[in-house]
Amino acid sequence: MRWLLLLLATLTASITQAEEVVLGLSQDRVQITATFDGDEILIFGAVKREAPIPQGDPLQVIIAVAGPSEPLTVYRKAKRFGIWVNTDTVEVDLAPSFYAVATSAPWDQVIKDTEDLRHHISIPRAIRSVGAPMTISDAQSFTDAVIRIRSAADLYQLRENAVQVDQQTLFRTALKMPANLTEGDYATRIFLTRGGDVVAQYDTVINVDKVGLERWLFDLSRNQPLAYGILSLAIAIFAGWGASAIFNILRQGG
């Protein structure tokens, strides 16, 4: 019996190692400028094999891109005496600032729940929330609220059937990066699955950073807040004076 289990384990390992990802990106850096209104990144690749394509379940692909994670404080509001006030608070330990998942088939066909639990691929499992106060019985609703709000802002995306797979060898998809991105490294993971099991994984990074005037203003606000405040005040005064001057000219001309 022991030799049979060993043989099965060896065969499973050989199948897992028989396929690996060779990845390509249309760009591995997103530059945020003063006029940045979003971007689209083409992610494509191929499956490298040392043996013929395995028979049975077809190859599926999952691509997940996660922005820098950060802790969050989530509030629940309720109306008290005609005024909306914060009634409950839950601390979310870590939540990605951006998270997009694209799959080659419907979610329940590409990965098993146990594999999702192991790799933390789905949006809810990408958010780390350890616990909540004992007074709150529906802590999950706070995590759901984060997902709902960020999904509405295109910061969280689940795109089923968005990865095209050709001949179980080539794959590609395009991910939309919204304008309100957080600067940092965006961890990109590609999973190959068969029958819901992960058979290969590839990790890379997409860098998102500010450049040009946007970078200069950002650095100024962090490194020299006094100078940044004076500059902001000067710009506001100049803009107000300019608008007033134009208004006076138009009024005199009329």
- Radius of gyration of the chain measured on its C-alpha atoms: 25
User: What CA–CA distance (Å, rounded) separates 247 from 245?
Assistant: 5
What is the DSSP pairing of strand 19-25 with strand 39-49?
antiparallel
* pLDDT reading at 215 higher than 60: no
Q: Are residues 232 and 205 in the same domain?
A: no
pLDDT score of 219? 53
pLDDT score of 181? 82
In a domain? residue 216: no
Q: Are residues 54 and 91 in the same domain?
A: yes
And the tokens for 114?
A: 């146990």
Q: For 125-184, what is each residue's pLDDT tens digit? A: 998 876 666 667 777 788 888 899 999 999 999 999 999 999 888 999 998 888 888 888
Closest CA to 198 of 100, 117, 102: 117
In a domain? residue 44: yes
pLDDT confidence of 92, banded at 50, 70, 90? Answer: confident
Structural contact between residues 210 and 218, judged by C-beta atoms closer than 8 angstroms: yes
Please state the domain count of the chain.
2
Q: Are residues 110 and 182 in the same domain?
A: yes
pLDDT score of 59? 93
Q: Are residues 85 and 156 in the same domain?
A: yes
Q: Are residues 191 and 243 in the same domain?
A: no
pLDDT confidence of 12, banded at 50, 70, 90? Answer: very low
In a domain? residue 5: no
The CATH code of the domain that includes 70 is 2.60.40.3880
Average pLDDT, the chain: 78
Amino acid in position 132 = A
* pLDDT reading at 189 higher than 70: yes
- Domain span at residue 231 reads 224-254
